[in-house]
Chains A and B, each alone.
Chain A
C-alpha cells in the first residue's frame, strides 16, 4: 500500500512539475514568483486536512479506545506541522517580493501560524509521555480541543484585523483555466505524497509500538 502510494506520488509530483513550469502561463504582474502558489496552496490544504484527520482519529480514539487511532493522529499531526510549516515558509517567500513584507496580519496566515503552534505543542506532549499509560486518551482530548479552537482563532484574527485598514486588496478570484488545471494537478500530486507519508509513518509508529510490546513482555 505504502509502496504503491509512494510510486504514484513520485510520478504525480513529476507530472505536476511539468504542469507548473511548462503548461501554466507566467503570471503577468507577479512573474515567475507566482509559481510558488502551485506548491504553497496544496501544502496549506493538506495541512488543514491533516489537522482534520487528527480530530477524527482523536474522536475515534476516545470512542473505540484502540491505540491504532492514536498512532494515526500522531502521524497525521507530524505531517500537518510539517506541511503547515512549509506552507508558512513558501507563503513568506512569496509575500516578500509581492507584498514587500515577510509577514502580515492576515486571518489565514495568523490562523495557520497559531495552528502550527498548537499542533507543535501536541507533538511535544506526545514526546513528553504525558499521561503515562493513559497517554493516548489524554492526547486524543487535546486533539479534539485543538480542532475546536480553529474557527475561534480564524474569527478572532479576522475581527482583529478588520479594525485596521487593509493595505492589500483581496486576492484570488478569476484564475486562468490553465492555472486552475495546474493547481488541481498539484493538489492531487501533493495529496498522493501526503497519503504515502501518512501510511508510512502510521506503519512505523505501529511497528515501534509492537516492538515495545514484545520487549516489555520478554523482560517481565
Chain B
C-alpha cells in the first residue's frame, strides 16, 4: 500500500507543481489572510503571540481547503477517478497518497506563512527551531488525515470548495486549538512552552482517530461512480 501511495503522491505533486499555478494561488491566499489580519492592529502595536499563532493556522486551513479540493479535482476529468478506483491497489492507498501530497504542499505554503507572520506580525521563535518545526508537522498530520478524507467526500461537485470549507472547519477545531497553543508556546519559549507541549498529545490523538476512521471509511466514499 505504501509504494502505491508514494506513486500517487508523486503523480499528484508533479501535476500540481507543473507551472506551480495551484501552489502559488494557495500561498497567495494565505499571505493575503495574514496581511489582512495585520490591519486589525494599529501601526506599531504589538500582536500577541496567541493571535499570531491563530492567524498562522487560519491561513493554513484556508490553503489546505484549496490544496485538497485541487488534489481531488485532478481525477475529475476524463473518468480518471474511475481509473484510479479500478486500479489494483487498496482504496486507502489513494487516501494516504493524497494526504502525503497534501502534507508536502501545505508544508511548502507554511514556509511562506512562517516568514510572513514573522515579518507582518513581528513574531520570532524564542524556543528551539527544530522543536517548532516538529510541533507544526504533528499538527499538520492531523489536519491532512482529515483533510484527505473530507476532500474525497466533497469531490465531484461544482460547489466543492465552499462545501469542503463548511464541513472541514468545524470538525478540525480540536486540532486547530492544539496547533494555536503549541505555536504560541514555541513563539514565547520558556515556561509557556512546557504547558503548550501538552497539546501535542491532543494533536496526536486527533491524527490517530481520523487516520483510523479514514482507513475504514475511505473505501465507502471514494469510488469511480459519478
Contacts and interface: CB of A to CB of B under 8 A. Distances in A.
Interface stretch (A5-13, A36-44, A138-146): A138-146
B202 interface: yes
A21 interface: no
Interface in A145-159: 145-146, 148-149, 152-153, 155-157, 159
Nearest to A139: B153
Nearest to A110: B173
B215 to A, nearest CB: 12
A163 B195 contact: yes
B167 to A, nearest CB: 4
B174 A134 contact: no
Contact of A144 (B159, B173, B174, B217): B217
Interface residues of B, number: 34
Interface string A100-144: 000000000000001001100110110010111110011011101
A124 B166 contact: yes
Contacts of A156: 173-174, 177-178, 202
Nearest to B221: A141
A146 B171 contact: yes
Given A130-B163, A132-B226, A145-B149, A138 B157 contact: no
A142 B153 contact: yes
Interface string B115-146: 00000000000000000000000000000001
A160 interface: yes
A169 B175 CA distance: 28
B69 to A, nearest CB: 13
B220 A62 contact: yes
A66 to B, nearest CB: 14
Contact of A155 (B153, B157, B174, B195): B174
Contacts, number: 87
A128 B154 CA distance: 10
Given A156-B178, A160-B181, A149 B163 contact: no
Contacts of B217: 62, 141, 144-145
A198 to B, nearest CB: 24
B225 A134 contact: yes
Contacts of A62: 217, 220
A121 B173 CA distance: 14
A128 B171 contact: no
A138 B152 CA distance: 9
A211 to B, nearest CB: 24
A145 B157 contact: no
Contacts of A141: 149, 153, 217, 220-221
Nearest to B160: A130
Contact of A117 (B154, B170, B205, B209): B170
A137 B223 CA distance: 11
Given A125-B163, A144-B213, A134 B223 contact: yes
B202 A148 contact: no
Given A138-B221, A140-B220, A153-B173, A128 B202 contact: no
A133 B177 CA distance: 36
Contacts of B226: 132
Nearest to A130: B157
Contacts of B72: none
A125 B150 CA distance: 12
Interface of B: 146, 149, 153-154, 156-157, 159, 163, 166-167, 169-171, 173-175, 177-178, 181, 195, 198-199, 202, 205-206, 209-210, 213, 217, 220-221, 223, 225-226
19 contacts: A62-B220, A118-B167, A118-B170, A121-B167, A125-B167, A130-B153, A131-B156, A133-B225, A138-B221, A141-B149, A141-B153, A141-B220, A145-B146, A152-B174, A152-B175, A152-B209, A156-B173, A157-B177, A163-B181
